[in-house]
Each structure stands twice: as structure tokens, then as C-alpha cells.
């Protein structure tokens, strides 16, 4: 039943054409990123994950906001509040996965990847984009109309989340734990010889913890607002 609601929401996302805007935005930022020439896979994908984070958050907000409030309540009656909310996150996760796959594939089409270590670079790229997808879905969910109740607050939450996520992720940040570690991941992938196991676990843990905290806020707001 959750799967049916996920399919219904993804169908609405595609049929309304709202999926096009973040798709075009993703292609534009990827075009700019890879337009200057080729780079090593790990380095390129690290930066790609950073620039994709705002796109994924926006995409998630768009997807969750398409459904009219009353239709969301009808789904809640059918499935229960928890499963209804989870279905929205899963739908956003599927859409984010699609965009991440596009980001992983585009540089091969336009010749943005060069040099040795392509296989390992691709693996690091999948990892970096997974972290970006988790953080983007969490931020987009908490910025959705179901929790913010107004377009203005929704845009404000999205903007503050994206800017804060990038500013607090800078190397000189006084509170790097406030941001998903996407910039830190890009730095680790750019520096030779790349992240070791400890770095990988630490960055993954921080990204998952950040996403979990934001999703917990989403869950709490969904409980108190309908």
C-alpha cells in the first residue's frame, strides 16, 4: 500500500511536469561544472554532489508540495499518518536517486571525466551522491508545505538550509557539525590519496546523523500539523 502511494505521488510529479524544473536545473549546474574541461572522477563527483544538494532539496519540496493538502489527508486516512509520511519520503528518495544517477552519467556523455582511477572514482561518486541525496531529501521534506504551511516559510526554510549547509560546511567553519558534510566530502575526494576508512565512516556518520535529525524534525512537525 505504501508502494501504491509512492507510485501515485511519483506519477503526479511526472504528469504535472513539475519534475522538469529540477531536472533542467540539474542539467544546467552539471553543464557549468563539467563545461570547463575534464577532471578525475572522484574529484568531479565530489563537487557534483555539493552542487546537486540544493537541487535535490528543491526537487523534494516540489514533489511533496504537488499533492493538495486534502488529498494528503485522504492518504493519511487510508494508510495512517506514519506510513503516509514515509511514502512521501520514499517517493522523494526515488526521485533523488534518479537525479543522482543522471549526475553520475552526464559527465561520461560530455567528456567531463578523465584520468586514472575511474572505477574507484565512480564508487566514491555513488557514495558522495548518496550522502547528498539523504541530506537533500531531508531538507526538502522539512521545507515542504505539510510542515511549513506557507510558500514563504517553505522557501525561507529551503534557502536557509541550503546556504547554512554550505556556509557551515566551509573548511574554516566554526560549527561544521551544523551542516551535512558535503563540502568536507568534496575536499576529501579532491585531496590525494582520497578518504581513508576512518574519514569515510566519519563523513557517512555525520551525513546520516544530520539527515536523521532533520527528518526527526519533519516527523515531529507532521505529527503536530496536518
Residues that bind other proteins (CB under 8 A): 1, 4-5, 7-8, 11-12, 15-16, 67-71, 73-81, 223-224, 226
Instruction: Give the Cα separation of 25 and 23 in Å (integer).
Output: 5
Find the shortest distance in angstroms from Cβ 75 to other proteins. 6
**Nearest CB to other proteins, comparing residues 25 and 79:** 79
**Nearest CB to other proteins, comparing residues 43 and 67:** 67
Buried residues in 163-186 as b, exposed as e (16+ CB within 10 A): eebbebbeeeeeeeeebbbbbbbb
Find the shortest distance in angstroms from Cβ 186 to other proteins. 37
Find the shortest distance in angstroms from Cβ 81 to other proteins. 7
**Nearest CB to other proteins, comparing residues 159 and 226:** 226
Is the Cβ–Cβ distance between 138 and 64 less than 8 Å?
no
**Nearest CB to other proteins, comparing residues 52 and 87:** 87
**Nearest CB to other proteins, comparing residues 11 and 175:** 11
Helices (H), 16-150: 20-35, 41-66, 69-79, 81-109, 118-142, 145-148
Find the shortest distance in angstroms from Cβ 2 to other proteins. 9
Q: What is the DSSP string of 4-39?
A: HHHHHHHHHHHHTSTTHHHHHHHHHHHHHHHHT--B
Find the shortest distance in angstroms from Cβ 7 to other proteins. 8
Amino acid at each position: 500500500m505504501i508502494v501504491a502511494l509512492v507510485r501515485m505521488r511519483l506519477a503526479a510529479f511526472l504528469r504535472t511536469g513539475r519534475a522538469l524544473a529540477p531536472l533542467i536545473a540539474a542539467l544546467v549546474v552539471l553543464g557549468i561544472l563539467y563545461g570547463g574541461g575534464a577532471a578525475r572522477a572522484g574529484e568531479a563527483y565530489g563537487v557534483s554532489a555539493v552542487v546537486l544538494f540544493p537541487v535535490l532539496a528543491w526537487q523534494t519540496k516540489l514533489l511533496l508540495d504537488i499533492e493538495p493538502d486534502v488529498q494528503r489527508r485522504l492518504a493519511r486516512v487510508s494508510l495512517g499518518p506514519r506510513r503516509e509520511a514515509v511514502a512521501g519520503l520514499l517517493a522523494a528518495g526515488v526521485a533523488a536517486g534518479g537525479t543522482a544517477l543522471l549526475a553520475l552519467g552526464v559527465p561520461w556523455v560530455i567528456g567531463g571525466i578523465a584520468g586514472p582511477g575511474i572505477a574507484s572514482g565512480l564508487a566514491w561518486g555513488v557514495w558522495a551522491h548518496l550522502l547528498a541525496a539523504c541530506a537533500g531529501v531531508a531538507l526538502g521534506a522539512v521545507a515542504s508545505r505539510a510542515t511549513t504551511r506557507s510558500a514563504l516559510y517553505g522557501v525561507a526554510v529551503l534557502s536557509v538550509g541550503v546556504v547554512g549547509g554550505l556556509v557551515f560546511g566551509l573548511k574554516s567553519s566554526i560549527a561544521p557539525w551544523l551542516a551535512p558534510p558535503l563540502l568536507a566530502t568534496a575536499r576529501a575526494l579532491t585531496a590525494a590519496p582520497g578518504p581513508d576508512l576512518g574519514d569515510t565512516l566519519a563523513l557517512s556518520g555525520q551525513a546520516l546523523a544530520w539527515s536523521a535529525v532533520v527528518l526527526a524534525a519533519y516527523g515531529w512537525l507532521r505529527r503536530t500539523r496536518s
